[in-house]
Amino acid sequence: MLCRYECDTESKEFVQLRLVDMLKGTGIKEEKEQKIRELTAKLESINQQSEVYRANLLAVLKDMEEEKLKLSVKVQNARLSLKE
């Protein structure tokens, strides 16, 4: 009977230690999942910001192209005027 009690005590201790390990593991897993959620949200925010920058850059490039064409026409007109 004494052996059985000792075994039960050891089993209880083992189970308690195992539960502590599992809870620690769960905490770590939850921390990792939280960190993943935070990084994912940050990445989404950065991607949105990048899209805004990209749209602004494309608008500036389009404006530059239009101005280049206007200047090209003005230069051509000036050349024609000088030839005449």
How many structural domains is the chain composed of? 1
pLDDT tens, the chain, 84 aa long: 444 444 566 677 777 777 777 667 667 778 888 999 999 999 999 999 999 999 999 999 999 999 999 999 999 999 999 987
Answer yes or no: pTM beyond 0.85.
Answer: no
- The pLDDT, as a whole number, for residue 25 is 67
* Integer CA distances (angstroms), 60 to 53, 57, 71, in order: 10, 5, 16
Domain containing residue 53: 1-84
pLDDT at 9: 65
3-state helix, strand, coil in the chain (%, to 5): 100, 0, 0
